[in-house]
Chain A
Amino acid sequence: MAETGDGKKEDADYKRLQSFPLIRHTDMAEEMRVETMELCVTACEKFASNNENAAKMIKESMDKKFGSSWHVVIGEGFGFEVTHEVKNLLYMFFGGSLAVCVWKCS
């Protein structure tokens, strides 16, 4: 029991240490990248418990700002292969366990 307790504390610890948003892969331009990253962080923090709503918020904002049509996936465990418009992909980590993938493909 103590072990799992410790494990949970460690979890919480490194989540605190590593909750900064970290871009894993992107080919966006500087401005777009920064904006998108901030948007994702906001959305994930707002809808911390509901990935679908967070994704919905991100997708709708991206569509408005940068044109259709955007796709967003948020989760903790998934694999993917997508076709995306060049210079319109962002794949980042957040909060120590959340992965967000945003790409444009009409």
Chain B
Amino acid sequence: MSVPQKAAVKSEPDVACKPKPLYANFSANASRSEIYDFYQEELKRRETNKNKEERPIIDEEDDEGDEETQCTAKGEDWYWQDSSEEEEAPASAEPSGLRNFTYKKHDISQLAHAVKMMERAVVQNIHGDITDDFLYFEDPADEFRGEKGTLLPLWKFQYDKAKGLSVTALCWSTEYNDLFAVGLGSYGYTHEDRVGMLLFYTRKMHTYPEFIFNTDSGVMCIDIHKQLSHLVAVGLNNGCVAVYSLLEKSKQPIYKSTASAGKHKGPVMQVKWQEDHLDSNHNFISVSADGRVGSWTLREHELVFTDIIKLPATDKVPDDLKDVIATAGTSLDVHKQYDCFFLVASQSGTIYKGSKFISSTFLEEYDAHFLMSVKCVRWNPFYSNVFVSCGLDWMVKIWDERIKSPVFTFDLRADVTDVAWAPYSSTVFAAITTDRKVHVFDLSVNKYEALCQQIVVSRKKRPVKIEFNPVHPIIIVGDDRGHVISLKLSPNLRKKPKDKKGHELPSGPEVEIAKMEQLLSLVR
């Protein structure tokens, strides 16, 4: 029996059930030159993309988001699209009041300089009368007023972005005597400290600041370097210090200290530039509310901090807490002749004279303002042994550094927030009080009362800082609303000393020193 052979069934080859695929043709040429060109295009495209990201685009155009098209069933081409349609955002012109241009393809920043000049010219034309007053007005009524003088209000400097900030520091530039710096911050508690600003105004254009720097913490003090007027040291509310250079295009400080260990733990109340070290590194000293006086040196890429001295704790503090509770320093001034001596004023009412090189103790102590905070202390610009101090005990006191008690005392009936010597006379100084008045004294004319007591700010504001212009007879007063006003001193406040014959003596530092010497000898 034969087993029927099963017929070999050839299984049919698998017929694919998927749809027949679509085909397309594609052709290209691959050569060195083509490859090179394509790479160049790609690099260029990446450059412009990077630039576009960095510079703020004023006109929001349709973005080039259609570069990456989704692959459609038709097999759309996917390649980097040529960016010939992009709008270029040119470098924004120096901010001026006329900022709302729409930026088109052409770079408008070349107009910036011309526009700035125009703006200045227009502002000076509109307010020409103020400039005339500043230059020529000498109050004729002074003749009939006896010794008294007045202050003539000139320009008002306001910046609308500075709302809610108080003026905390003023500083004139020595090289450009129409330029001054205003520091804006807050005198409140640390948690209220949000932002700060550093503005530079020139009296030639009072409507808008020349330079604007925003800081992340309130500015508490400023000092402009005497020789290199582009270097500005700034102390901030969070204990950091920064050095700005006005030559830099970017609005960032060239040096900034970080809040790391060993630095100031409280708001920096005063900074003062010092003579360069022997290795020609710039340096400045600072005092802060944590009671330490330190020196900062500008090295290559960093700010180096060295402790100079710490303010001693007050007697009220119990012994075991003496290291912890600091006496806040409120003001600092460097001796005009000997750079290494400085005066520090403390919140406990004492003024200390110290030396940069002695870190264990102070050289002298002056019980200045009976347990109330000393607001400001300044050396006399001519007679280098004399300094003035003002405090919240309503007093302004003149001291000779060799004598423990004040030489002159003035009671101004209200908290005195700032005092400044006049740069043209060794016996003239001005003080501002919280009752909105400026008091100007001239000790060679009247040893007991002010020659001028004038209200300078409106009712809701309080003056906070005062500075004399180094050259012109004007003062600037900053108030707690962020406004600065400038006032011109009337002739009676700028009297030159007369010699025996009644002629005016030539004004020079020796004359001023002699004047002061005479005054002091009278009192002793």
Contacts and interface: CB of A to CB of B under 8 A. Distances in A.
Interface residues of A, number: 36
A77 B30 contact: yes
B38 A81 contact: no
Interface of B: 21-32, 35-36, 38-39, 42-43, 71, 73-79
The 6 A-B pairs at the shortest CB distance, nearest first, are namely: A99-B30, A81-B27, A27-B75, A79-B29, A18-B39, A86-B22
A105 interface: yes
Interface string A87-106: 10101010011110101011
B175 to A, nearest CB: 46
Given A27-B77, A27-B78, A87-B75, A99 B35 contact: yes
24 contacts: A14-B36, A18-B36, A22-B42, A24-B28, A26-B78, A27-B24, A28-B71, A30-B71, A76-B31, A80-B27, A80-B28, A81-B25, A82-B26, A82-B27, A83-B24, A84-B23, A86-B21, A86-B73, A86-B74, A87-B73, A93-B35, A97-B36, A99-B35, A101-B30
B75 A86 contact: yes
Given A18-B39, A93-B35, A96-B39, A24 B79 contact: yes
Nearest to B22: A86
Nearest to B21: A85
A34 interface: no
B292 to A, nearest CB: 52
A29 interface: yes
Contacts of A26: 78-79
Contacts of A93: 35, 38-39
Nearest to B30: A99
A77 B32 contact: yes
A75 B31 CA distance: 9
B23 A105 contact: yes
Nearest to B41: A22
A86 B77 CA distance: 12
A91 B21 contact: no
Contacts of B36: 14, 18, 96-97
A84 B26 contact: yes
Contacts of B74: 86
Given A18-B39, A81-B26, 8 more contacts: A18-B43, A22-B38, A25-B28, A25-B79, A26-B78, A83-B24, A96-B35, A96-B36
